[in-house]
């Protein structure tokens, strides 16, 4: 009986060469994407906090431990509001600003948030000198959509000088209490971004 032949040449000792290895690229990509998402979620509030604190410290005449503490706390509140506002606005693509043919601008909202620490400090100083009594209620039109209304309510209530006391979704209005008779620079920025409107403006 003839002896069995043995294959010679490249690949002769690799009988499983033609088999496809189990796919790992998809799992590795998924893990990498998840980790990058975690890093982005952590970096966003940290980035906002750093920028807002730098702006605040650039506005104060002298930097002290008290100013750093106040700036850090105000910037933390501003960072939380910035993240919540951005996510709320991006979660609802149907938000429309008050007035015909306008839309809510995310870049405008971001520009308003840069003023937030300074506005919080100015309101705090005003309350320290004049007290928190008085003020008046003003109806402000707000951009349409629940996400826009939530973002506007949060941002209009984060500084000591204003807060939202009620929402009328049917009429598209926020009931805002202001200590000062005129809108603050922060509120004017929110108006320019299209998140809220001026009193009497059609929703």
| Residue 72 in tokens | 């850090």
* Window from 3-17, 134-148, 150-164 with minimum mean pLDDT: 3-17
- Say how many domains are in the chain: 1
Residue 115, in any domain of the structure = yes
pLDDT above 70 (res 37): no
Could you tell me how many helices (H) and strands (E) the chain has, helices first?
Answer: 6, 3
pLDDT above 70 (res 198): yes
Residue 83, in any domain of the structure = yes
The model's pLDDT over 64-75, given as tens digits with 9 standing for 90+, comes to 888 888 888 888
pLDDT above 50 (res 94): no
What is the predicted pLDDT for the residue at 101?
42
Mean pLDDT, range 133-160, rounded to an integer: 86
pLDDT above 60 (res 92): no
- Under the banding of pLDDT at 50, 70 and 90, the label for residue 25 is low
Minimal CA–CA distance to 120: which of 79, 86, 181?
Answer: 79
Residue 102, in any domain of the structure = yes
Residue 139, in any domain of the structure = yes
Minimal CA–CA distance to 78: which of 158, 157, 148?
Answer: 158
pLDDT above 70 (res 119): yes
What is the predicted pLDDT for the residue at 100?
41
pLDDT above 60 (res 39): yes
Higher pLDDT, 14 or 151: 151
- Under the banding of pLDDT at 50, 70 and 90, the label for residue 14 is low
Strand pairing partners for 142? 196
CA distance 45 to 40: 9
Domain that holds residue 62: 37-193
């Amino acid at each position: 009986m003839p002896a069995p032949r043995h294959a010679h040449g490249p690949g002769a000792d690799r009988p499983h060469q033609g088999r496809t290895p189990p796919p790992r690229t998809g799992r590795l990509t998924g893990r990498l994407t998840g980790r990058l998402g975690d890093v982005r979620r952590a970096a966003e509030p940290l980035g906002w906090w750093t920028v807002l604190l730098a702006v605040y410290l650039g506005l104060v005449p002298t930097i002290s431990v008290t100013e750093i503490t106040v700036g850090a706390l105000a910037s933390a509140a501003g960072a939380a509001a910035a993240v919540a506002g951005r996510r709320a606005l991006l979660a609802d693509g149907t938000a429309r600003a008050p007035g015909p043919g306008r839309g809510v601008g995310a870049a405008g909202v971001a520009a308003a948030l840069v003023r937030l620490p300074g506005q919080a400090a100015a309101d705090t100083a005003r309350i320290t000198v004049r007290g928190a009594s008085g003020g008046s209620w003003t109806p402000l039109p707000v951009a349409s959509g629940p996400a826009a209304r939530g973002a506007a309510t949060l941002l209009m209530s984060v500084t000591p000088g204003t807060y939202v006391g009620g929402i009328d979704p049917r009429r598209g209005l926020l009931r805002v209490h202001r200590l000062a008779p005129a809108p603050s620079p922060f509120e004017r920025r929110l108006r320019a971004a299209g998140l809220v409107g001026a009193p009497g403006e059609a929703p």
